[in-house]
Amino acid sequence: MTQEERNCLMNWPEDYYRELDGDKRKAWLDQRIEETGASRETEILTDLWELRYGSPKEKAKRTANGAPVDRFIRSWLYLTVQSQKKSLFGVSKNKKQVLSLAKELRLDRYDQMDDEEKRLMDAEYLHLFRMIAYLESTDSGFTRKALGFMKLNNEEVRKKITDQFDRVLRELPKKYELTALFAPLVRAADQALELSFYKQEESNL
């Protein structure tokens, strides 16, 4: 076991949820199981990892740099595109696409989960939105002002991300009468913004 893996086990599960790299998260999860034995928690976490990054049986796609494709990020990007559509045509088709993306995020099964499943699902949603907030707040293209010459300050970046989250998670579901379905994501996104911009935690996210 590497020192990094030892440190992660010493700070479980905090470091697991701070890590951006899907492969590292899986390695640490596997190490956790090896060191402490399988549990209901690790069983659910393994299922959620495979939901998000793909199971070995699926031969999941990988990015150009070899990392597993993050399906949650992919779903978020597609939802973002949906939120930008203004046309009144194709409403039924667009709603079906939004519902399909919600299913990829397992929102359709959330209300049937038990307390432990919801706790870990919420933690995964929180990880997703902290990751989005971190990536966007450190992206030079995202943090530039309209003309591209000046950089947004921290408050302006926070507002830009907040507006984006509201458009995708509140306005889009409201348009298709799906507000209740998206409620778990709204809670996670709000918490992610608080952690990322108010508490200023020292972490990768």
Residue ranges covered by each domain of the chain? 3-58, 71-197
Question: What's the pLDDT score for residue 178?
Answer: 97
Mean pLDDT of the chain: 88
What is the number of residues in the chain? 205
**Distance (Å, rounded) from C-alpha 157 to C-alpha 144?**
9
- pLDDT, one tens digit per residue, over 4-14 is 656 555 688 88
pTM of the model: 0.88
Question: What's the pLDDT score for residue 153?
Answer: 85
Mean pLDDT of 149-164: 89
